Structure 1
Amino acid sequence: MTGTILTEDAGDGVRIVTLNRPHRLNAIVPELLDDLNHALEAADRDPAIRAIVLTGAGRAFCSGDDLKDFGTQAADEPGTRAYIERIQDVTRNLVLGDTPIIGAIRGWAVGGGLEWVINCDFAIAAEGTRFFFPEIAWGVFVTGGVSELLPRLVGLQRARELIMLGERFDAAQAREWGLVYKVVPDATLRDEALNLARRIAALPVGPVRDLRRILARRDALAPAMAAETDATVRGFLDPATAARIGAFK
């Protein structure tokens, strides 16, 4: 662990996992991916942990991929593919693990951060939270099983709107569309997430685990994620993508 993730046991079978790069709005870098996967796997192996609260330090949940590292991430095909698979591993741990995930979301949830919101069993958003997918505009692609999961939640047409057009939306819209479970004042976000996590942690483990496995629909999710990985690698290696991101930076 390199300090990009903090963990805290909150009692009653609940562990809080916090993205901890607040100076970069918890943007994604390889170290954060490694630490997050490690933290999620450790919680899933621990029989005392029956629910996880996933949140972000500071004023954002996660602002997506850290563009300052794009040159390294897109240096060559094997390295890029390995990096994208580490991103996909987070979704595998969130969606296919046995431990329910409750998101406590504030500030920005962008790109990969929004994907992780969608991966949660329940996401609770603070009132000022903002969301969008910037990937297509950069020339890359979504990951996180979003190509399979998002149409289930919001329908095919709105999924196209959000992914292809990158439309920004707020917490109230996210609640209306079924992307988040509840919208609460920022001051009560942690307590609301912990209360829900404790409620879930008190349920019988077996049925909760079985429900998560059935709803995950692994047979549909796995090929969608493989196709996402291929599309994302192509986008990362496209010189036009590097030009767009270079101009932005």
Structure 2
Amino acid sequence: MTSPPTALPSVPGLDVRVEDHVGWIVLDRPRHKNAFTGEMLRAWAEAYRAFQADDHVRAVVLTGTGDAFCAGADLGDLGQARSPLDSRRLMTEHVHPVARAAEDLAKPLIAAVNGAAVGAGMDMALMCDYRIASDRARFSEGYVRVGLVPGDGGCHYLPRIVGRSRALRLLWTGEFVDADQALAWGLADEICVHDRLRERAGEFAATLASQPPVAVELIKRAVQAGEHADLRTSLDLIASHQAVVLATGDSAEALSAFRDKRPPHYTGA
């Protein structure tokens, strides 16, 4: 039995929708380089949670409009902290819920980086499982250039993606990395001609959405757990996941379709 469609948030600057089995989050403040407001942050986290709860959604794409992916926070909207405690609360209660919701999303999360991803905007892309970069994309952990430390997970994600020394270089300098360099360093997983970016992201998301949903989610969970576990723990976990998957109707359907040489039809059960 699948869950009913979940109500999606609707706020200015954030377009959240479902097309077929793919959830879309589109940052839509092009005049502000898609810098996010506090209202957008709350809806962003809510969208991830809604997609996780909706069995109809099997993959999620995050992208932007205009010539930027995301310039980070709109500091004018979020306001200035009056004390260290205010600053901490601003981060933990308003910014960090997006990272926590992304971590809780067991479905594939794809970033289609259409332009500059700067500061927290770059961190939002790093939270994703797979990054497709436009040939016009650029990445910068620009915090240091305005006297700040990375506030949205950059110090966590970046070393895991590009290695410690390259991460420190990018964090210490705030320099920009173009699409080709991003691909070489693993910041981007593939590069796409700009005008085809959203189409390519949709195609890839649809491919993932066509796979057996339970298996896809448990693969992601196993990889996440494996990043913090020893081999024996990972093997023990995957043995349990395999038992769950084998008990699903989708597992039987996959084998039947393979034997019959026909496309499979998965229900998520």
TM-score range, shorter chain: 0.7 to 0.9
Three-state SS of the structure 2 residue aligned to 1:28 is coil
2:189 is matched with which residue?
181
Deviation digits for residues 31-72 of structure 1, max 9, x if unmatched? Answer: 1101111111111111100101111122211011223346x2
1:8 aligns with 2:17: yes
Percent identity, please. 33
Aligned counterparts of 1:219 and 1:92: Cα–Cα separation in 2:
17
Query: Is the helix fraction higher in 1 or 2?
Result: 1
**Structure-1 residue corresponding to 2:156:** 148
SS at match of 1:37: helix
Matched, 1:87 2:74: no
Aligned residues: 218
Secondary structure of the residue aligned to 1:61 is: strand
Cα distance between partner residues in 1 of 2:136 and 2:27: 19
Q: 1:47 aligns to what SS in structure 2? A: coil
- With over 3 angstroms needed to count, the CA separation of the structure-2 counterparts of 1:130 and 1:219, relative to structure 1, is closer
CA distance in 2, matches of 1:69, 1:126: 28
SS at match of 1:116: helix
Which of 44, 47, 50 pairs up with 1:42?
Answer: 50
2:144 is matched with 136
| AA aligned opposite 1:64 | G
Give 1:78 deviation, angstroms.
4.1
SS at match of 1:203: coil
- Segments of 5+ residues of structure 1 without an aligned counterpart are 221-249
Map of 1:224 onto structure 2:
none
CA displacement at 1:198 relative to structure 2: 0.6
Q: Which amino acid aligns with 2:139?
A: F
Please say if residues 120 and 152 of structure 2, whose CA atoms lie closer than 8 Å, have aligned partners that are also in contact. Answer: yes
Runs of 5+ in structure 2 lacking a partner? 1-9, 229-269
- TM (norm. structure 1) is 0.81
Question: Who is 2:62 aligned against?
Answer: 54
Offset of 1:212 from its aligned partner?
2.1
Q: CA RMSD in A?
A: 1.9
- Check the 8 A contact 2:65/2:114 in 1, yes or no: no
* Stretch of structure 1 that moved more, 24-33 or 210-219: 210-219
- The structure with the largest alpha-carbon Rg is 2
Secondary structure of the structure 1 residue equivalent to 2:82:
coil
CA distance in 2, matches of 1:55, 1:157: 28
